[in-house]
Structure 1
């Protein structure tokens, strides 16, 4: 496995492309959604540097409920519009938060978290599946390149797993 460095745009994009290929290979032949969520969480958590949480919050029709993840125990339920995850789900827009303490209504599941990126997971029919949430103990850990990389990973994940549900 590789580590995403804070290097040039091209190398960071190439490294996310490599991670995308690993993701496809990891979940391509597995039909169980939860197993794929668990393995995807582990792959990202153990591949990218400076993370302290990586996982899913799945939409149950009313709120987000914690799904498979890597890291310390997490908040179990998050209302739409609440915190970074609830905001990403409600707005259906990726949230890149350089300083979680400056985000209105931030939910502090792990006090060590300083920055966060959350990508909404949207089915091809427009239905909300949930969100992909990644935290870091490093301020300003995530940028626009990470957003593009995470969005590509999530798009592939949804495409590969939703076709099997």
Structure 2
């Protein structure tokens, strides 16, 4: 259903797309759609709970000696390990659909907040002070988004996985913090 919805959002716009159209394209009934999603906006965050859990698990499983950003890197690796070709192919279409709709941009921002909250909670549970945990988590979300964009837009012959791109983005952000003053 996610692929059908994103394709329709891209083809005809979010506002012009109905739940009935999404269900028809996906080959399911409207009632099946509503068993999975409360409305068409929720399609955008399909898998958010799983992604949040994977990020938090990776952080929790990082070595006790890991710095906050090293723990975030472990979370990014854990979450990235679950992302496959469908996730990669969906990236550019999802990006286009979100860019074309203020409502989807708002929902995407809420998704980012949820991911940051999951990582912050996992870092705080490791004993990281709250402000440091928040900053590291926000950097983790930004690194994940930048890495996902790079990965999904990369040449399909590039066998480099999402983890490589997310960790490179995290390192870029770490380096950028040294220029903040």
**TM-score over 0.5 for the alignment?**
no
The TM-score, its normalising length taken from structure 2, stands at 0.32
Structure ranking higher in helix proportion: 2
The TM-score, its normalising length taken from structure 1, stands at 0.35
